[in-house]
Amino acid sequence: MVDGNSVNTTREQLLETIRSIETQTLVNIILAFFVAYIFARIITALLSKLSEKMSRSGRIKVKMVIPAVKFGIYIVAFYYFLTELLNIFGPELFLLTGLIGAAVGFGLKDLFADFVGGVIITFEKPYQVGDKISIGNYYGEVTDIGLRATKLVTPDDNTVTAPNSLIFNEAIASGNYGASEMMIVIDLYIASESDVKAAMKILRETVVTSKYVYISRTSPVILLHKSLPFYTRLRAKAYVNDLRDEFEFESDVHTRAWTEFGKNGIRAPQLHILNIPQIGEESELRTTRRKNDRSNVIHGKYSDFNAGSQKNS
């Protein structure tokens, strides 16, 4: 059995030690973390600026270093903190560790999981700064890997802050994984009766002449064709030179391919095949439907029975 008196003594000893901490030591610890934070920010900003001036592959390489440098700085600060702590508490540190453990267990477990996630991301590299990744419901370019969270910029220019612990629960897809080029899949749908051979030739030439394309032995252009019941799908798999031009590349291929398709009599699938009314017809139908809806609302105001009967019909 644990002696109640000895527990009380230890608690008193601990309180006594805490009371004996000098203000200077506390200020030093806070200052160390503050300096580490500022230093990490400066280094990140400088390296980011440098990377943007470099070639595309150089940019990714420099950005890869940023998280490791940041963690290095924080580890130094943490080491200083621990040294100070050991100086103060000595053997009582175990008791404090217990307290920290309890705090982590109850209140800060998510923060701790995020921190561990950050360490894993930095050293295992499931993705890196500069990668285009899908994580959770988000897709975008990784701009920062912090201690707690990863920042992504989505194609709509939203900055998403995703907690690092997501890597434990979610699958992460990296489109380029450290490379500056990235495969883009471009689908074009044409009418079944169109000349597929001519369409494939046009699509290939459109892709290989794009100003955004990157072609090499390891990054070839692949063209696929699939005939479906009501239309034909043409698929081009090609690498964009700079992953930031992903959507521009796709748009460039679409625009130029459809211009050429038009010149060569290659048409888009017709909607009537699927029994979907043509655009003109549809708008007419919509207008009629809207009119009906409005009359239903008017009827509905006066009679619940009418509305119900409309639904049933």
Partner 1 sequence: MEDNSNKTDEMVFGEIIGMRDEIGKIQEAIADFEVGKKLNVAIIAGLFGGKTTLIKEIEKLNLSRATKITFSEVVRDKKEISLSGDTKRVVLFDNCHFLYVRKPGGFDIFYEFLDMISSQNRIFITTWNIYSWKYLKEVFELEKYFPVQIVVPAFSEEHLKQLIFNRYEEGEIIFNNGGESDEEPVAYITEYPIELSAIGKKISIPILKINIHYLKKYLLSEKKEKKEGKEKTAEHRVFERIHLESKGNPGVALRIWKLALDYPHIKPEDVGNFSYDIELEQEEAFVLNLILSYQGLKKSDIVDIIGSMLKTDEVLFQLLNQELVFEDENDSFRVRPEALHSVITYLEKLRLVW
- Tell me which residues touch partner 1 (CB under 8 A): 53-58, 180, 202, 205-206, 208-209, 211, 214-217, 221, 241-242, 245, 256-257, 259-260, 263
Complex with partner 1: residue 114 or 250, whichever CB lies closer: 250
Q: Which two tokens stand for residue 42?
A: 């400066």
Q: How far is the CB of 206 from partner 1 (least distance, A)?
A: 5
End-to-end Cα separation, the chain, in angstroms: 79
Give 190's strand partners.
Answer: 232
Q: How far is the CB of 139 from partner 1 (least distance, A)?
A: 23
Q: How far is the CB of 23 from partner 1 (least distance, A)?
A: 49
Complex with partner 1: residue 54 or 273, whichever CB lies closer: 54
Complex with partner 1: residue 167 or 236, whichever CB lies closer: 236
Give 65's strand partners.
Answer: none
Q: How far is the CB of 42 from partner 1 (least distance, A)?
A: 21
Cβ atoms of 35 and 76 within 8 Å: the answer is: no
Complex with partner 1: residue 150 or 206, whichever CB lies closer: 206
Burial class (CB in 10 A: 0-12, 13-18, 19+), 66: buried
Q: How far is the CB of 175 from partner 1 (least distance, A)?
A: 17
Whole-Å CA distances, 35 to 40, 78, 84, 135, 203: 8, 12, 16, 32, 55
Complex with partner 1: residue 230 or 247, whichever CB lies closer: 247
Report the C-alpha gap between 262 and 257 in whole angstroms. 9
